[in-house]
Amino acid sequence: MKRLFTSESVTEGHPDKICDQVSDAVLDAILAQDPNARVACECATKTGFLMIFGEASGNFDVDYEAIARNVICDIGYDSDDACFNGNTCDIIVRMEEQSEDIAMGVNESLEKKTGEELDEDSLIGAGDQGMMFGYACSETEELMPLSAKLAHVLAMRLAAVRKSGFLPYLRPDGKTQVTVEYEDDKITRIDTIVVSTQHSEGVTLEQVRADMINHVIAPMVPSDLIDDNTKIYVNPTGRFVIGGPMGDAGLTGRKIIVDTYGGHSSHGGGAFSGKDPTKVDRSGAYMARYIAKNIVAAGIAKECEVQLAYAIGVAEPVSVCVDTFGTGKLDAEQIADLIVEHFDMRPSAIMKKLQLNKPQYRELASYGHMGRTELGVKWEETDKAEELNVTF
């Protein structure tokens, strides 16, 4: 049986990703001064302005406006002809102290309030309620879905040929999309590739199309997966001069599927950017990815989805759920028992294991938080695989 599956990515110049990067750059700057700070930083942008708002508490002193301008200009929005200019745009800042009611639950867990004698990792509660999903599969070396990986590498390549000056007419905004064909759950070919890129006035669609095929798609997509029937769409509307915040409003946290698995897995709904790691929307999702990746790396399953769920102020997760989509060598209950035995899922323990209290988030705010082995993030390690492998 044949089926098609599609994933998308966006470049760092997409309006939503501008906001994600500013939010995470603020977080990085604060964590650099106070690794235990509490941060929930949101951004919104439209023509000529960006607003930073939210809550932050701790021992730090950062210049929010300067951080935002540096990020916007670094992306490539440093002149008016790009439709957004980090040097001259209006920056509005509305950051306040974290709510005492929220801080009370995070700083002192429900377990601690019971008066039991606990180790230090049980003293901090989850920063919010919610459920988070992690996923891994054997389709790529990074144990990520192929469609998601290819969409990201195309978006990264699009930014690279722009920033290097190789294709000087390109502008920062852009999107990519890849459709993979499966037959009996095996990858057979690439059915469709879509690349939409902002460009300067004067360049022809014919030139843009030729350059995208020759310098973006060809170097990044395996040629053996492309055939005569593969459809390639480049700027299907025919023109993409007005882009960035002038073309569309941007908000932090509006690309959660781009940030994770390209639609191949469930999503709890919580975004990552701008949130310190006591927020389990972020730390729980990274931990779930770490667990799922190690399950697949251990050979227990070819595909694995892990759900963790938390209650605000409670250190231990309220549930752990596993689905291997029929590929597991053990049943779901056995794998869940293995997870509980081998992984400490309390927020404080997660932060230590995955080293989440250090600046590292701006780089993750575009091109995905998962599968980023080139960044050396701890949730992409498979150091538990051997330990899990000997248990079944």
User: Residues 149, 152, 264, 275: which is the catalytic one?
Assistant: 275
Active site residue 362: no
Active site residue 349: no
User: Residues 69, 175, 293, 302: which is the catalytic one?
Assistant: 175
Active site residue 14: yes
| Contact of 190 with 181, CB cutoff 8 Å | yes
Active site residue 267: no
User: Residues 65, 74, 108, 248: which is the catalytic one?
Assistant: 248
User: Residues 160, 249, 311, 332: which is the catalytic one?
Assistant: 249
User: Residues 17, 157, 353, 369: which is the catalytic one?
Assistant: 17
| Contact of 186 with 180, CB cutoff 8 Å | no
User: Residues 34, 42, 111, 323: which is the catalytic one?
Assistant: 42
User: Residues 5, 84, 133, 240: which is the catalytic one?
Assistant: 240
Active site residue 240: yes
User: Residues 254, 282, 302, 362: which is the catalytic one?
Assistant: 254
User: Residues 157, 255, 264, 346: which is the catalytic one?
Assistant: 255
| Contact of 208 with 162, CB cutoff 8 Å | no
Active site residue 386: no
User: Residues 8, 16, 24, 139: which is the catalytic one?
Assistant: 16
Edge-to-edge order in the sheet of strand 130-137? 130-137, 303-310, 319-323
Active site residue 209: no
Active site residue 32: no
3-state secondary structure of 47: coil
Active site residue 248: yes
| Contact of 268 with 126, CB cutoff 8 Å | no
- The residues, any chain, with a CB within 8 Å of residue 160's CB and separated by 6 or more, are none
User: Residues 5, 8, 14, 264: which is the catalytic one?
Assistant: 14
3-state secondary structure of 184: coil
User: Residues 279, 282, 289, 353: which is the catalytic one?
Assistant: 279
Active site residue 249: yes
Q: Nearest 10 degrees: CA dihedral of 243, 170, 17, 7?
A: 100
Active site residue 279: yes
| Contact of 148 with 371, CB cutoff 8 Å | yes
Beta-strand pair 250-251/84-85: unpaired
Relative orientation angle of helices 15-33 and 64-75, to the nearest 10 degrees: 130
Active site positions, annotated = 14, 16-17, 42, 55, 175, 240, 248-249, 254-255, 275, 279, 281
